[in-house]
Amino acid sequence: MSVVVRAGSLTPPQFSEQKGTTPLVCLTAYTTPMARLVDSHCDMVLVGDSVGMVLHGLPSTLGVDLEMIIMHGRAVRRGLERALMVVDMPFGTYEEGPQQAFCNAARIMRETGCAAIKLEGGKTMAETIAFLTARGIPVVAHIGLTPQAVHAIGGYGVQGRGEDGDSVRNDAASVAEAGAFAVVLEKVPEPLARRITKDISIPTIGIGASPACDGQILVTEDALGMFAEFRPKFVKAFAELGTAAADAIASYAQEVREGRFPAAEHVYGDRAQPVHQGDAA
């Protein structure tokens, strides 16, 4: 397996340079078709470990492993030309220490062709971030609500309210100092995210954070309204594809049961006729 550096794609330094200019647009993708859809609109495309919950029906991101994230990373890679591709490091693949993190991050980069990795954690991950960046692995940090720590935190609540804000600010300063080229701020109060964005030199990417962040990220399926029954406050559905898909599937089922599909235009005659491209008469 070889790493292909795409000539036209945004690099981590170019991404960082956009801090304080035009807001950075980031979305997730787990498959080639979704990567193709989002590529021309995005500065960064993240192969998030949210894939475990969104596509595999897992109860949390903890069940995602290297094989799963690499398989999705390779699929996404085939769909991207322009956006910076970042892949999440799964739970248990980097927390032991810098060496473990380096081996697994290098494997992810080698096997997916991504340009950077993302890992969760602030101050406690600073040493690892410094180790990786010193060895050619660009890192996006992820602080505030860190879903891989759901059990330790005790849920998916907002992080950094009141006096806890200092700890999130310290995390932001630590990961920037350690060499991360961007940091995701998840579910932190708006004024705190605004302040951190002002304080640190690297772009902040908000999810449930603040419009003042240097960029925004959403899980694409959330932005498309795939899950009408699960819509946290920070999600805006820019379409209602979940309802549209359910309606389409119901129509298909009804037409099959009533013998209305396939109709004459969907079946083949026994004589050769002019064919549509990619079709056979």
The stretch near ligand KIV (CB under 6 A) out of 41-49, 161-169, 238-246, 249-257 is 41-49
Interface positions, 85-114, toward ligand KIV (CB under 6 A): 88
Nearer to ligand KIV, 34 or 184 (CB): 184
Could you confirm whether 186 is annotated as catalytic?
A: yes
What is the per-residue DSSP string for 14-47? HHHHTTTSSPEEEEE--SHHHHHHHHTT-SEEEE
Tokens of 236: 């805006």
Tokens of 8: 């036209």
174 binding ligand KIV? (CB under 6 A): no
Q: Cα separation of 54 and 240, whole Å?
A: 16
- Min dist. Cβ of residue 97 to ligand KIV (A): 22
Q: What kind and span of H or E run contains 85?
A: strand 84-88
Q: Which residue has the CB atom at the shortest distance from ligand KIV?
A: 48
The 204-223 contact track toward ligand KIV, x by CB under 6 A, reads: ---x---------x-x----
Closest CA to 126 of 110, 109, 114, 143: 143
Out of 89, 143, 184, 200, the only residue in the binding site for ligand KIV (CB under 6 A) is 184
CA angle 106, 131, 15 (to 5 degrees): 70
Interface positions, 48-67, toward ligand KIV (CB under 6 A): 48-50
User: What are the residue numbers of the active site?
Assistant: 186
Give me the residues that bind ligand KIV (CB under 6 A), please: 28, 46, 48-50, 88, 142, 184, 207, 217, 219
